[in-house]
């Protein structure tokens, strides 16, 4: 039997740590082979007021995993009267994925958030691997995103600058990866919580950047 490569997900996602928070971004195209099935697919989920999940892979698997993590984050808050640490959320999701590694969820995830130890970004694979990094990307458009991030990312940049870099990176993927397209969704997570950047603001920045 041919082994299915779960890393070949037709999507582009990214997460990066900034000095005042984290920035997450995705595009919105969903494909079925060569068919563009949906143009406005949600791939960026708010898990808690300090935590987000950027998703690539099978839509059904992604949606149920987002619901699982959201429920667990709520339970943690109810039991302990505090928000779940980002590292703990990544470990929890890693355990959920690892339990199904022989019948896996076909996903590639980026979990990011801001807690009392600062900003954190984790890349999670279908077998439960959880790797922290300053920035990461996922999906079929990730090589183009990494190219932009390697060239423009600097430690200590602001989330405002991070949003512009995210736009440049996702746009590069949309221009070169046929499975990536549609609009750009961006969220910024700081000590003040999870905030999605409005479509109008993204369009203004795209125009200003000449993208």
User: How confident is the chain (211 residues) per 10-residue block, as mean pLDDT?
Assistant: 45 97 94 81 95 93 95 96 97 96 93 97 96 96 97 96 98 92 95 97 94 74
Of the candidates 10, 13, 41, the residue with the CA atom closest to the CA atom of residue 140: 10
Q: Rounded to two decimals, what is the model's pTM?
A: 0.92
**Residue 2 belongs to a domain:** no
Residue 116 lies in a domain: yes
The reply to whether 25 falls in a domain is yes
The domain of 145 spans: 13-209
Q: Is 40 a catalytic residue?
A: no
Q: Based on the number of CB atoms within 10 Å of its own CB, is 69 exposed (0-12), middle (13-18) or buried (19 or more)?
A: buried
Q: What is the reported pLDDT for 39?
A: 85
Closest by CA position to 16, among listed 187, 177, 130: 187
At 65 the pLDDT is 96
Q: How many structural domains are present in the chain?
A: 1
Does residue 177 sit within a domain? yes
CATH of the domain at 148: 3.60.20.10
Spot the catalytic one: 11, 26, 41, 171: 11
Residue 126 lies in a domain: yes
* Residues paired with residue 24 on neighbouring β-strands, in sequence order: 15, 187
């Amino acid at each position: 039997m041919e082994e299915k490569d779960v890393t070949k997900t037709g999507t582009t996602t990214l997460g990066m740590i900034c000095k005042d928070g984290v920035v997450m971004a995705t595009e919105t195209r969903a494909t079925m082979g060569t068919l563009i099935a949906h143009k406005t697919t949600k791939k960026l989920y708010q898990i808690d007021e300090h935590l987000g999940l950027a998703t690539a892979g099978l839509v059904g698997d992604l949606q149920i995993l987002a619901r699982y993590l959201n429920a667990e984050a709520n339970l943690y808050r109810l039991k302990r009267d505090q928000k779940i640490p980002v590292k703990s959320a990544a470990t929890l999701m890693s355990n959920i994925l690892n339990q199904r590694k022989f019948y896996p969820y076909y996903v590639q995830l980026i979990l990011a958030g801001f807690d009392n130890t600062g900003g954190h970004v984790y890349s999670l694979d279908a077998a439960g691997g959880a790797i922290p990094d300053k920035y990461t990307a996922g999906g079929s458009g990730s090589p183009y995103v990494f190219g932009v991030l390697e060239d423009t990312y600097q430690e200590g940049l602001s989330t405002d600058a991070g949003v512009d870099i995210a736009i440049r990176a996702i746009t590069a993927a949309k221009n070169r990866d046929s499975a990536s397209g549609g609009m750009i969704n961006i969220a910024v997570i700081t000590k003040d919580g999870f905030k999605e950047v409005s479509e109008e603001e993204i369009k203004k920045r795209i125009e200003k950047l000449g993208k």
